[in-house]
Amino acid sequence: MTLNWSGKRRWIALILVLASLVVMFNWPPVVPVIQLPGEIYPSGEVFGLPITNTFAGSVVVWILILVLIRVVGSRRPRDGGEVPRGGFYNFFEMAFEGLYGFIGGIAPERYLGPIFKMFMTIFVVVLLSNWLELIPGIDSIGFLHPHVHEVDGHTELLEGFDTATLGGVYYVNGQCPWVSPDVAATMSGEALQARADAGCHSGIPAMEEPDDPAEASDDDHADEAADDEHADEIDYHHVEPGDPAVPWVILPYIRVPSTDLNMTLAIALIAVVMIQVMGFRALGIGYLTKFFNFSTLLKSPLGGIDVAVGLLELIGEFAKILSFAFRLLGNIFAGSILLFVMSFLVPVIVPWPFFLLEFFVGIIQAIVFGLLTAIFMSLATVSHHHDEEHHEEAAAGAH
Amino acid sequence: MEEAVVVAGKAIGAGLAMVGALGGGIGIGLAVGGAVQGMARNPDHTGTIQTNMILGVAFAEAVAIYALVVSLIILFVLS
Burial class (CB in 10 A: 0-12, 13-18, 19+), A85: middle
Q: What share of chain B in percent tops pLDDT 90?
A: 43
Residue A291 lies in a domain: yes
Q: In what order do the strands lie in the sheet with A169-177?
A: A142-146, A248-252, A161-166, A169-177
**Closest alpha carbon within chain A to B68:** A330
d(CA A205, CA A211): 10
Domain match, A293 and A267 both: yes
Residues A370 and A272 reside in one and the same domain: yes
A36 has a chain B CB within 8 A of its CB: yes
Q: Report the residue from A35, A106, A149 with minimal CB separation from B76.
A: A35
Is A151 at the interface with chain B, CB within 8 A?
no
Q: How far, in Å, CA of B41 to CA of A375, rounded? A: 26
Instruction: Please indicate whether, in this complex, the C-beta atoms of A36 and B77 are within 8 angstroms of each other.
Output: yes
Domain assignment present for A82: no
pLDDT, position B38: 94
Does one domain contain both A177 and A314? no
A140-167 pLDDT per residue, tens: 787 777 777 666 666 667 777 777 777 6
pLDDT for A209 beyond 50: no
Instruction: Express each pLDDT in A354-387 by its tens digit.
Output: 999 999 889 988 998 998 899 899 988 887 655 5
Q: Is B54 within 8 Å of A327 when comparing Cβ atoms?
A: no
- The three-state DSSP-derived secondary structure of A327-376 is HHHHHHHHHHHHHHHHHHHCCCCCHHHHHHHHHHHHHHHHHHHHHHHHHH
Q: Is residue A125 part of a domain?
A: yes
A289 and A194 belong to one structural domain: no
pLDDT one-digit tens code per residue, A4-56: 666 788 888 889 889 888 888 877 777 777 777 778 877 767 777 888 888 88
Q: Which domain holds residue A218?
A: 142-252
| Separation between Cα atoms, residue A69 and residue A298, nearest integer Å | 56
**Together in a domain, A244 and A173:** yes
- A136 CB-side CA count, 13 A: 7
Same domain, A137 and A149: no
Nearest CA to CA, how far is B46 from chain A (Å)?
A: 13
pLDDT tens-digit map of A255-294: 899 998 899 999 999 999 999 999 999 888 888 888 887 7
Q: Please count the structural domains in chain B.
A: 1
Average per-residue pLDDT in chain B? 87
Q: Is the pLDDT of residue A300 over 80?
A: no
The reply to whether A147 falls in a domain is yes
A264 shares its domain with A371:
yes
Indicate the residue type of A10.
Answer: R
Pair (A150, A223) in one structural domain: yes
Residues A129, A292: contact at Cβ < 8 Å?
no
Q: For residue A37, which residues of chain B lie inside 8 Å, CB to CB?
A: 77
Same domain, A127 and A229: no
**A5 located within any domain:** no
Question: How does pLDDT run across A71-125, given as a tens digit for each residue?
Answer: 887 776 666 666 666 667 788 888 889 999 988 888 888 899 999 999 999 999 9
For residue B68, give the CATH number of its domain: 1.20.20.10
Per CB-CB distance under 8 Å, the chain A contacts of B4 are none
Last residue of a domain, one of A252, A272, A298: A252
Distance of CA A284 to the CA centre of its chain: 38
Q: Which residues are CB-neighbours of B74 under 8 A, at least 6 positions away?
A: B10, B13, B14, B17
Nearest to A43 by CA among A141, A145, A123: A145
Please indicate, yes or no, whether residues A121 and A270 belong to a single structural domain of this protein.
yes
Confidence check: pLDDT of A211 > 70: no
DSSP A34: P
Neighbours of B78 (CB within 10 A): 11
Does A34 map to a domain?
no
Residues on chain B touching A337 (C-beta within 8 angstroms)? 72
If you write DSSP's letter for every residue of A259-281 in order, what string do you get? GSHHHHHHHHHHHHHHHHHHHHH
Same domain, A308 and A278: yes
Number of residues that this document lists for chain A: 399
Count how many domains chain A has: 2
Q: What is the pLDDT of residues A48-77, one digit of tens each?
A: 788 888 888 999 999 999 998 888 877 766
Rounded to a whole number, what is the largest CA-CA distance in chain B? 64
What is the arithmetic mean of pLDDT over A316-334?
Answer: 89
Decide if A106 is inside a domain: yes
Residue B30, SS3 per DSSP: helix
Structure confidence at residue B46 as a pLDDT band (50, 70, 90): confident
Q: A97, A89 in Cβ contact below 8 A?
A: no
Let me know if residue A332 belongs to a domain. Answer: yes
Whether residues A65 and A165 fall in one domain: no
| C-beta atoms of A330 and B69 within 8 A | yes
Of A252, A271, A288, which residue is a domain's last? A252
The values of phi and psi at residue A164, to 5°, are -145, 165
Containing structural domain, residue B60: 2-76
| Domain final residue, candidates A192, A221, A252 | A252
Tell me the per-residue pLDDT of A181-206, one tens digit each, with 9 for 90 and over.
777 777 777 777 777 776 676 666 54
Of A207, A212, A181, A178, the closest CA to residue A193 belongs to A207
pLDDT at A168 over 80: no
